């Protein structure tokens, strides 16, 4: 299933097109509200629980009215707090709430928020639907005062639930707040936490971070841009009947990389296959100062299924690297401390590979890079790490590379390739940067970071659904580069190899039980387990 990632304007256009095609706004609202209730029921006990629904104006408020109705049917004691009055003559969902006799409070009749504070003190779960996806300016006025009350109560309740200083080893069960714990106060956001700019990720100071966000038809860009991304909690995408075949939806060129995408593009493993079937990858990497990088990249290429990996490393480190990765081959090259032009010429004449990775640990190797750019008939190419830093020093480098070369920069390397200060790059939209530079350079760009972006020259882009600090360790990028070249060696097309490789690499880190301490070698060894899980 394709999951598009929308701007606010694109979402408005998609909803309008869906309504015109017969999927009415009323139907979409009913489906959206039912989906919110379903997501809550799947995660939290609701029968006999007090649920407070914060109802804003417009369709976002309508969605939560529907959700509250379904939760009441499931046995919850649901109260609705209306920021603005709603007319039952014009609002069918509000009329149904009234007909069922469910508890409703209007902010305009709640002096000094006494009723709100009372409900906040007794509630077991809050549904936040005060604001929808159209927030573009700071929250002020009466809404700001209301949200201060909510945020204060939430902070007080969650402070009560916070675990204290416990011994590192205890025979007793540790106190851990959870949705089922009576002191915990889960927050469920409808479409997005109120105060999140869904285009930019800017988060208002009054926004209430959610434990669960249920969004509709597809995520919004702001769900993946910090600081707002950190306020969304678990993100669930609910289908509300908007067809991906609608022109307004098909035109959206940003998608979420999914497990289904990964499974679809996994290289085949025929029973009669052999090492030639699964391709040969050549990795030109390493130097006297950096011998671990080629070993990590080569290990990753093997772990994702490459049949043969050749490591072209300087003579000074060849024996050491071979001792750590004896499965690889080591073509003889003339350079001892760092790869130079003579090394490239030797490799170009003697080594036949289905894919080439250049860059990890490739210190002071300008001669090698210039020789590579001057050559013709290169296999599918990945450039990473020091290879990117070398490129940035070469005039007109994009025109000298084979078309659709895969570039894998982190933000610092991206800034060098673009010729801008890193501080300036950090202020820009990461998706737009990746898409614009891929189009300008004519190459595939994998811009690393929390929620990595992969873009190809034609404008298509994917966001990887992972933000895991465990990946923030030396060598992680070398593993990623090895994954991608291993996939290219198995004849996966360039863009698909970049998206699948990024997904596979991050999914491996998700198998590690923690957010720190993951070694790059351990990450490489988790890759084969990910493939098995994707298949099963």
User: Higher model confidence: residue 169 or residue 46?
Assistant: 46
What rounded mean pLDDT belongs to the chain? 93
SS3 256: strand
Residue 305: which of 258, 268, 271, 330 has the closest Cα? 268
User: Higher model confidence: residue 136 or residue 46?
Assistant: 46
pLDDT for 132 equals: 83
Which H/E stretch holds residue 116?
helix 114-122
Residues in the chain: 536
Beta bridge partners of residue 53, listed in sequence order: 80, 127
Q: What angle do CA 177, 178, 179 make, to 5 degrees?
A: 135
SS3 299: helix
SS3 53: strand
Helix ranges, 215-314 (H): 247-250, 259-265, 292-303
In the predicted structure, residue 166 carries a pLDDT above the cut 50: no
Question: For domain 259-535, which CATH number applies: 3.40.1190.20, 3.40.920.10, 3.40.50.620, 3.40.1390.20?
Answer: 3.40.1190.20
Phi-psi domain of 191 (left: phi exceeds 0; alpha: psi -120 through 50; beta: other)? left
Q: Which two tokens stand for residue 489?
A: 């060696």
- Tell the burial category of 504 from Cβ atoms under 10 Å away from its Cβ (0-12, 13-18, 19+): buried
pLDDT > 70 in the chain, percent: 96
Task: Tell me the per-residue pLDDT of 459-483, one tens digit each, with 9 for 90 and over.
Answer: 999 999 999 999 999 999 999 999 9
Q: How far apart are alpha carbons 421 and 525 in whole angstroms? A: 36
For domain 24-133+140-160+179-239, the CATH class is: alpha beta
What is the pLDDT confidence band of residue 135, given thresholds at 50, 70 and 90? Answer: confident
Task: Tell me the per-residue pLDDT of 257-309, one tens digit each, with 9 for 90 and over.
Answer: 999 999 999 999 999 999 999 999 999 999 988 999 999 999 999 999 999 99
- Give the dihedral sign, CA 326/329/332/336: negative
Q: How far apart are alpha carbons 106 and 84 in whole angstroms? A: 7
What is the pLDDT confidence band of residue 176, given thresholds at 50, 70 and 90? Answer: very low
| Pairing relationship of beta strands 50-55 and 77-82 according to DSSP bridges | parallel
Task: Tell me the per-residue pLDDT of 406-427, one tens digit each, with 9 for 90 and over.
Answer: 999 999 999 999 999 999 999 9
Task: Tell me the per-residue pLDDT of 53-83, one tens digit each, with 9 for 90 and over.
Answer: 999 988 889 999 999 999 999 999 999 999 9
In the predicted structure, residue 191 carries a pLDDT above the cut 90: yes
In the predicted structure, residue 188 carries a pLDDT above the cut 90: yes
Global confidence as pTM: 0.93
What is the pLDDT confidence band of residue 173, given thresholds at 50, 70 and 90? Answer: very low
pLDDT for 470 equals: 96
pLDDT > 90 in the chain, percent: 88
- Residue-range domain boundaries for the chain: 24-133+140-160+179-239, 259-535
Q: How far apart are alpha carbons 502 and 398 in whole angstroms? A: 22
């Amino acid at each position: 299933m394709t999951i598009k990632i929308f701007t606010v304007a694109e979402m408005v256009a998609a909803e309008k097109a869906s309504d015109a095609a017969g999927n009415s706004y009323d139907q979409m609202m009913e489906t959206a509200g039912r989906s919110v209730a379903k997501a809550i029921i799947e995660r939290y006990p609701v029968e006999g629980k007090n649920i407070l629904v914060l109802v804003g104006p417009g369709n976002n408020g309508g969605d939560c009215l529907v959700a509250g109705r379904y939760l009441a049917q499931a046995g919850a004691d649901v109260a609705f707090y209306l920021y603005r009055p709603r007319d039952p003559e014009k609002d069918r969902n509000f009329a149904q709430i009234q007909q069922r006799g469910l508890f409703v409070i209007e902010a305009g009749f709640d002096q000094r928020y006494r009723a709100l504070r009372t409900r906040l003190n007794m509630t077991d779960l809050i549904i936040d639907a005060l604001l929808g996806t159209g927030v573009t300016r700071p929250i002020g006025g009466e809404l700001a005062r209301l949200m201060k009350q909510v945020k204060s109560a939430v902070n007080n309740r969650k402070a009560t639930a916070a675990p204290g200083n416990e011994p590192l080893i205890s025979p007793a069960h540790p106190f851990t707040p959870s949705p089922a714990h009576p002191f915990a106060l889960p927050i469920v956001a409808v479409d997005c936490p109120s105060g999140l700019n869904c285009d930019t990720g800017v988060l208002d100071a009054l926004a209430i971070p959610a434990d669960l966000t249920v969004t509709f038809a597809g995520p919004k860009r702001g769900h993946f841009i910090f600081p707002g991304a950190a306020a969304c909690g678990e993100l669930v995408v609910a289908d509300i009947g908007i067809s991906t075949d609608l022109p307004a939806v098909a035109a959206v060129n940003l998608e979420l990389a999914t497990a289904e995408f990964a499974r679809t593009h996994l290289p085949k493993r025929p029973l009669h296959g052999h090492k030639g079937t699964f391709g040969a990858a050549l990795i030109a990497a390493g130097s006297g100062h950096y011998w671990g990088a080629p070993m990590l990249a080569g290990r990753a290429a093997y772990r994702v299924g490459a049949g043969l990996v050749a490591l072209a490393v300087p003579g000074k480190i060849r024996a050491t690297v071979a001792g750590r990765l004896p499965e690889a081959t080591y073509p003889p090259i003339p350079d001892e401390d760092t790869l130079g032009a003579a090394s490239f010429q030797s490799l170009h004449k003697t080594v036949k590979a289905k894919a080439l990775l250049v860059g990890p640990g490739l210190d002071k190797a300008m001669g090698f890079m210039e020789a590579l750019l001057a050559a013709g008939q290169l296999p599918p190419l990945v450039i990473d790490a020091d290879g990117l830093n070398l490129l940035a020093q070469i005039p007109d480098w994009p025109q000298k590379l084979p078309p659709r070369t895969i570039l894998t920069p982190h933000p610092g390397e991206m800034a060098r390739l673009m010729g801008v200060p890193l501080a300036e790059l950090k202020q820009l939209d990461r998706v737009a940067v990746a898409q614009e530079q891929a189009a300008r350079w004519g190459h595939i760009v994998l811009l690393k970071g929390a929620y990595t972006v992969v873009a190809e020259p034609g404008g298509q882009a994917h966001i990887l659904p992972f933000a895991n600090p465990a990946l923030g360790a030396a060598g992680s990028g070398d593993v990623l580069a090895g994954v991608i070249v291993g996939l290219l060696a198995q004849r996966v097309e360039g863009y698909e190899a970049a998206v699948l490789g990024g997904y596979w690499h991050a999914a491996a880190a998700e198998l590690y039980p923690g957010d720190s301490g993951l070694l790059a070698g351990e990450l490489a060894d988790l890759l084969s387990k990910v493939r098995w899980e994707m298949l099963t």
